[in-house]
A and B are shown apart, each in its own frame.
Chain A
Amino acid sequence: SQKIEQNSEALNIQEGKTATLTCNYTNYSPAYLQWYRQDPGRGPVFLLLIRENEKEKRKERLKVTFDTTLKQSLFHITASQPADSATYLCALVHTGGFKTIFGAGTRLFVKA
């Protein structure tokens, strides 16, 4: 069955360091992959989208890579800040759009 795995353990890092979050998937051929940030009790906020024919995407302090051979995406936050503390969700979008499946998310804590 289709499966998306994100590290269920919380990630604790020191302010200023780079946070790296992992999203692995199986039995799925996504057209593209999205990353979202979610704060407690709020809806997810879209951060970045990367297509299957793209290797890397950047936006300010954020960088996403997408390896369709490894079936893996890495999400990096450089120069992390306490305000970056949140849950980060990856989401795979099936070819043809519409059907988006979310991973369970990784909780990130950035300590000052």
Chain B
Amino acid sequence: DTEVTQTPKHLVMGMTNKKSLKCEQHMGHRAMYWYKQKAKKPPELMFVYSYEKLSINESVPSRFSPECPNSSLLNLHLHALQPEDSALYLCASSQDRQSNYGYTFGSGTRLTVV
């Protein structure tokens, strides 16, 4: 299995809702990432997990809460989001921090906050 699977593919949520994005990989990768991408913009790093521990938090607002339950799963919990948080949320993984094979990205979750 050489894929990163993200669910759901699309999500519409109100500003008072709580929802979660899920990401799964079975490649044995030990580093996992959350990126946010707005239209016609580059992906922006949000969080990095290495060996299931949070390594980098790029000053992301607390309404985004990451979780890494095990080496194959990465979640992003969402609460009290704003319309400007609408974007494509991408999960990625790599073998480790010095990967020679780049990142493997999922297809993303298209999030719309209304």
A residues near B, CB below 8 A?
4, 34, 36, 41-47, 49, 89, 96-105
Contacts and interface: CB of A to CB of B under 8 A. Distances in A.
B111 to A, nearest CB: 13
Contacts of A36: 102
Nearest to A46: B102
B43 A102 contact: yes
Contacts of A103: 42
Given A98-B56, A99-B56, A43 B105 contact: yes
A44 B31 contact: no
Contacts of B96: 97
B88 A46 contact: no
A34 B102 contact: yes
Contacts of A99: 45, 48, 56
Interface string B71-96: 00000000000000000101010001
Given A43-B92, A44-B43, A89-B42, A100 B103 contact: yes
